[in-house]
Amino acid sequence: MSEEFRLDKIGLVNRDKKISFKFNGKKYFGYEGDTLASALIANGVHLIGRSFKYHRPRGFFGAGVDEPYAMVQLYRNNETEPNVRATEQELFEGLEAKSLNCWPSVNFDIGAINNFLNKFLPAGFYYKTFMWPKSFWYKIYEPFIRKAAGFGVVSTKHDNERYEHKYEYCDLLITGSGPSGLASAYAAAKNGARVILAEDKSRFGGSLLTSEVSIGNQNGKDWADNIIAELKEMPNVTVKNRAQVFGYYDHNMLVMSERLSDHLPKSKKYTPKQRLWYIRAKEVIISTGSIERPIVFGNNDTPGVVLASAAKEYLKVYGVLVGKKPLIFTNNDSAYETAIEFKKNNINPIILDTRKNPESEIISEAKNMGIEMKFSYVVVAAKGYKKVNFAEIANISEDKKDLGKIENINCDCICVSGFWTPTIHLASQSGNKTKFNEEIDAFVPGKSKQNETTVGSANGIFSLEKTLITAFEKGHEISKKITNKDNKISVPQVSEKKFTQHDKFWCVPLPKEKNYKRFLDFQNDVTVSDVELAIREGYRSIEHVKRYTTLGMATDQGKTSNLNGLQLVSSIENKIVPSVGHTTFRPPYTPVSIGAIVGREIGKHSKPTRKSPMHSWHEKHNAVFVDAGIWLRPRYYKKGNEGLFEASKREAENVRKNVGVCDVTTLGKIDVKGPDAAEFLNRVYTNAWLKLPVGKARYGVMLREDGIVMDDGTTTRISEHHYHMTTTTAQAANVLSHLEYYLQIVWPELNVNVVSTTEQWAGAAIAGPKSRNLLQKLFPDINVSNEGLPFMGYLESNLFGIPARIFRISFSGELAYEVNVESDNGNFMWEKIIEIGKEFAIQPYGTEALSTLRIEMGHVAGSELDGRTIPYDNGLDGLVSKKKDFIGKRSLNRKAFIAKDRQKVVGVVPLDKKTSIPEGSHLVKDANAILPNPKLGHISASCWSVEYNNPFSLAILKDGKNMIGKKLFALCPVKNKSIPVEIVSSHYVDPKGERVRS
Amino acid sequence: MLHIKCPHCGLRSQNEFSYGGDGTVKRPDLNKEVSDKEWDTFVYLRKSPRGKHVELWHHISGCRQWIKVERDTATHEIFKTSKVNEDI
Ligand SMILES: [Zn+2]
């Protein structure tokens, strides 16, 4: 198909580089420098999708980020992306795109029947219709809404593209490279400031790309090109195109998304698709410009109805005509530029101006060029289904209430201009109290909260001369504050056409007996009558009207619809716009892809993975790993066809029978040093610490101030003023912060230092009846007898020449030791233990066997110390000192904590000695009681007891102390289980603790 | 993201810190008789003012010092920061 809407001699696209692309399966051509939108329009394609609710045909409305409907499903490099704005997507060779929201095709859309059923789809339709009955939701309502609503399709494949994050600091961030952005960037850069200039489009220059102005004897675009070229050369300036600053956060943190590869057929190797910049700027200049707003009239969503500024941009930047018989409908002077541009290219536009007899330089120029114009005229309705083919127009009375006789006029596009709305999103996000400017009928930034300044048309200044003067001045003034330099650039001479006052008219009344839809929000299909209905139904706050009608809630965030919505609410309510107020602007200004937000924090990079020094040995020996916090720990070592159950049972049995070795490197370790260390530990732990001798370890429990157990572990006195504290793997970081809190804030008088040594030590637990024999072989020089190294004893020695710490502590309930060496020697230690342990039938064991061993011994761990239990609940009340004070002690007096029937850890055995009880099951008296069945307790941990060869669980049970011997039921509705059980002591194996002392 | 001036390290981004709550709470002295009400107030009751608030922050990914920050809870403005042993 030929490009019959492309002109030869105008535009900035590269005519030497033809690009082929596909839309809805059909092949077209465009040029390098086109957007998908400009290339489609050049080919005469105006029907691009169907609307959200009524499935009405939709084309193009704008030429940039404000585009409400020209969204497509994009296919690129075997990936697909939904809701890509055709007006922003740059063309590349092989681009493929499809229409959204229409089935079976854009030309014949079944959903369009909604258009004729529209009286069933008013404001709040979803709220009203789909409320009752509740049972209809799952099968009827939800699938209907899902099918009918929504736009593109998200790819379910893994996204192979690379996204990056970057942190940056600068003196001055400038958002937008139009005249005001360029001028302030130039002034500030010349004054020595570190400047970042961000432009969301591919081309720099903003309005200078399309306006007929001259700056310092150059035309506007050349001036922009020269300034950019000069800025790019300056070492203190970073200039970025395709970079949208979308969020303004606290303390002048702004976030920008840079699209590095979206305009290429395929990302280059090592180049990310998008990069998210977190920019901390000392000052921000907001030069985001303004967006033309529509005038509301009948069928104003018909393809071919476009913003006048967009028509001009398609013409001047891309050399593309949005139509050959344009009707220009305006309430101000700026649309005359569009008309003049058409005329210059031998197209004859007709201007309808709502004003009575406006006079200005540009109107005279248009008149002199012979452009036909009608004053006090409006477009009543666009006509044509898939593209405008004529318009109903009429004279309008001076009070703008009555229409004259309706006339038909032939046209193939309607270029509409309802004046300009400053883009105040970033200013508003920063906390700026925006104010309503009566003169331009729009909100502008007011008092700043953060270090931001808005310049140019974003600040409601539409004269280029004024814009440049203030922008140069602000750039200089702000940079001077930061750099203390005073290098001032003189403002160049400007020539531009002066405009006269616009007409505050924004909505064409309906002619009698006509029921045209007049759209406010084009993407969400919100019409004037929807808002009227919402107000009739009692919605007053603009925030409520917004949510009820969905006005401004689509992906374009109401860039073209917000202000007209406000106008409507205020006119119905007879209020002025400022008292209605605008809805809150929230980031992001434009949609940001999830990939960019996630960045490189994906898969294994989403959190650090910590591995012990013995990790590769575990891997080589078929360890199956489990996440323990951010650590990877061997869960079990697989032999042959073993599963978790068989392997962990074998490993646990071997500990009970021979000897096992477990990697305990992940335990948190904290060095506590200083003359007051003993006193500090005495305050931190519930038990007594002042008399622990050097060379001894002690088990301790620490509480939070509310009496709940925070953590437990053993702490060893290495020397007079040096203790080695261990914490659970999961709580290590919290415990360190907790200790620092008390040392720095509560008891700064204590002379103690704490530091994490978790990374510095590798640990191996050697457990089982033969562990002493093994230890003797590992350390032939030490006395490993009960006298030489008693339970809770500590020694230092050498493991084949390597310094080692030996603790006689046990988690498994067996005779056991823990050997620590410096991390770098961890693997050496491990291999030696395995090698020498062979003669004692040593086997490594993982966390699953470790759990089994501790559960059947009744040792409490994380599943019992779950942030809800006190020492008593865990049978640890013997460790609570009556004599001294400690953190959390006062809370233990709480009524509930000392209640007679207080919960306590117990053991649970199924009556059939066969059925394993799922963790989390509830213990109840009567399995068949009326729901909700009163819960007496819950199963905290379950295992297969290797000692007795039957299932065994721990539970936290109300009045647990007096429940031993009682029969209850363990209910697990999730697994549909009801298991009769008997309550037994939690110390199922070796209740007197003889083995650890043997 | 807030920008917090650690009195030990200088101006750093919020993601280096963790929040520690009301900085004016004083723990009752050890071994002191404390009424239920007094203890309850210390453990559980915190003011949640709109406006100026003295808070504790912990520079966990920095110097690991707890610091005091005077911050407006509504606007996030930070007026002052200090070491914990100094008056703010
Ligand atoms: Zn610090």
Give the tens place of pLDDT for each residue, A32-77.
999 999 999 999 999 988 877 777 888 999 999 989 888 899 999 8
Instruction: Please tell me whether residue A40 adopts helix, strand or coil conformation.
Output: helix
Q: Which residues in B have their CB inside 8 Å of a CB on A? A: 1-3, 13, 18, 20, 27-28, 30-31, 34, 36, 39, 42-44, 56, 58, 60, 64-66, 75-76, 78, 84-85
Which chain B residues have a beta carbon less than 8 Å from that of A745?
56, 66, 84
Token reading at A114? 């909604």
Tell me how far the alpha carbon of residue B64 lies from the centroid of ligand 1, in angstroms.
6
d(CA A322, CA A404): 29
CA distance B77 to chain A (A): 8
CB contact under 8 A, B58 and A741: yes
Token reading at B69? 């920050």
pLDDT tens-digit readout, A261-284: 999 999 998 999 999 999 999 999
CATH architecture of residue range(s) B1-24+51-88: 2-Layer Sandwich (3.30)
CA distance A433 to chain B (A): 13
d(CA A612, CA A269): 34
On the question of pLDDT at A937 being above 70, the answer is yes
Tell me how far the alpha carbon of residue B46 lies from the centroid of ligand 1, in angstroms.
26
CB contact under 8 A, B30 and A885: yes
On the question of pLDDT at A1 being above 50, the answer is no
Confidence of residue A682 (pLDDT cuts 50, 70, 90): very high
Closest Cβ–Cβ partner in A251, A706, A733 for B2? A251
Beta strands in A152-260 (DSSP E): 163-175, 195-198, 214-215, 218-219, 237-240, 243-249, 253-259
- In chain A, where the domains are located: 14-133+141-148, 163-290+422-495, 294-418, 899-992
CB contact under 8 A, A745 and B31: no
DSSP 8-state secondary structure symbol assigned to residue A610: B
On the question of pLDDT at A19 being above 50, the answer is yes
Q: Which of A278, A429, A433, A744 to mutate to test the interface with B (most CBs of B within 10 A)?
A: A744
Beta strands in A482-611 (DSSP E): 494-495, 519-521, 526-527
On the question of pLDDT at A548 being above 90, the answer is no
Confidence of residue A110 (pLDDT cuts 50, 70, 90): low
CA distance B47 to chain A (A): 18
Which chain B residues have a beta carbon less than 8 Å from that of A683?
30
Nearest CA in chain B to A886: B30
pLDDT tens-digit readout, A837-890: 999 999 999 999 999 999 999 999 999 999 999 999 999 999 999 999 999 999
Three-state SS for A613-651 is CCHHHHHHCCEEEEEECCEEEEEEECCCCCCHHHHHHHH
What residues form DSSP beta bridges with A726? A669
CB contact under 8 A, B39 and A250: no
> Phi first, then psi: what are they for A803, rounded to 5°?
-60, 135
Closest Cβ–Cβ partner in A249, A740, A890 for B64? A740
Over residues A481-497, mean pLDDT: 96
β-pairing verdict for A195-198 and A237-240: parallel
pLDDT (0 to 100) of residue A471: 98
Helices (H), A385-495: 425-429, 464-483
Contacts of A73 (CB under 8 A, 6+ apart): A80, A81, A82, A83, A84, A97, A98, A99, A100, A152, A153
CB contact under 8 A, B27 and A705: yes
Tell me how far the alpha carbon of residue A671 lies from the centroid of ligand 1, in angstroms.
21
Over residues A709-719, mean pLDDT: 97
d(CA A716, CA A671): 10
Quote the mean pLDDT of chain A: 93
Tell me how far the alpha carbon of residue B63 lies from the centroid of ligand 1, in angstroms.
4
Tell me how far the alpha carbon of residue B70 lies from the centroid of ligand 1, in angstroms.
16
Nearest CA in chain B to A746: B27
Token reading at A237? 């300036």
Task: Tell me yes or no: is domain A294-418 CATH 3.50.50.60.
Answer: yes
Which of residues A114 and A283 earns the better pLDDT score?
A283
Tell me how far the alpha carbon of residue A756 lies from the centroid of ligand 1, in angstroms.
17
Which chain A residues have a beta carbon less than 8 Å from that of B85?
744, 748
Tell me how far the alpha carbon of residue B52 lies from the centroid of ligand 1, in angstroms.
22
Tell me how far the alpha carbon of residue B66 lies from the centroid of ligand 1, in angstroms.
8
Number of cross-chain residue pairs from A and B with Cβ atoms under 8 Å apart: 55
The reply to whether domains A14-133+141-148 and A899-992 share a CATH topology is: no
On the question of pLDDT at A117 being above 80, the answer is no
CB contact under 8 A, B1 and A890: no
| Class of domain A14-133+141-148 (CATH, top level) | alpha beta
On the question of pLDDT at A299 being above 90, the answer is yes
CB contact under 8 A, A745 and B66: yes
Closest Cβ–Cβ partner in B2, B30, B42 for A683? B30
Confidence of residue A576 (pLDDT cuts 50, 70, 90): confident
Tell me how far the alpha carbon of residue B17 lies from the centroid of ligand 1, in angstroms.
9
CB contact under 8 A, A253 and B64: no
On the question of pLDDT at A542 being above 80, the answer is yes
- In chain B, where the domains are located: 1-24+51-88
d(CA A609, CA A604): 7
Which among A528, A288, A544 has a CA at the least distance from the CA of A421? A288
CB contact under 8 A, B65 and A706: no
Which chain B residues have a beta carbon less than 8 Å from that of A249?
1
CB contact under 8 A, A252 and B3: yes
On the question of pLDDT at A657 being above 80, the answer is yes
Which chain B residues have a beta carbon less than 8 Å from that of A891?
39, 43
β-pairing verdict for A413-417 and A326-330: parallel
| ∠ CA A159-A160-A161, rounded to 5° | 95
- The least confident of A334-338, A426-430, A601-605, B10-14 is A601-605
Closest Cβ–Cβ partner in A250, A431, A745 for B2? A250
Instruction: Please tell me whether residue A724 adopts helix, strand or coil conformation.
Output: strand
* Percent of chain A residues past pLDDT 70, beyond the cut: 95
pTM, two decimals, is: 0.89
CATH architecture of residue range(s) A163-290+422-495: 3-Layer(bba) Sandwich (3.50)
Which chain A residues have a beta carbon less than 8 Å from that of B1?
249-251, 253, 278
Tell me how far the alpha carbon of residue A596 lies from the centroid of ligand 1, in angstroms.
30
Tell me how far the alpha carbon of residue B13 lies from the centroid of ligand 1, in angstroms.
11
Which chain A residues have a beta carbon less than 8 Å from that of B78?
251
Tell me how far the alpha carbon of residue A618 lies from the centroid of ligand 1, in angstroms.
38
CB contact under 8 A, B3 and A251: yes
pLDDT tens-digit readout, A348-375: 999 999 999 999 999 999 999 999 999 9
On the question of pLDDT at A216 being above 90, the answer is yes
pLDDT tens-digit readout, A764-787: 999 999 999 999 999 999 999 999
Q: A312-315, long-range: CB within 8 Å, 24+ apart, which pairs?
A: A312/A210, A312/A337, A312/A338, A312/A341, A313/A63, A313/A64, A313/A209, A313/A210, A314/A37, A314/A38, A314/A41, A314/A63, A315/A7, A315/A10, A315/A11, A315/A341, A315/A342, A315/A345
Tell me how far the alpha carbon of residue A448 lies from the centroid of ligand 1, in angstroms.
30
CB contact under 8 A, B1 and A891: no
Closest Cβ–Cβ partner in B18, B39, B76 for A890? B39
On the question of pLDDT at A759 being above 90, the answer is yes
CB contact under 8 A, A741 and B64: no
Which chain B residues have a beta carbon less than 8 Å from that of A885?
30-31
Helices (H), A204-285: 220-233
Over residues B3-29, mean pLDDT: 96
Nearest CA in chain A to B42: A705
- The least confident of A92-96, A530-534, A715-719, A844-848 is A530-534
pLDDT (0 to 100) of residue A703: 98
Gap between the terminal Cα atoms of chain B = 23
The CATH code of domain A899-992 reads 2.40.30.110
Instruction: Please tell me whether residue A235 adopts helix, strand or coil conformation.
Output: coil
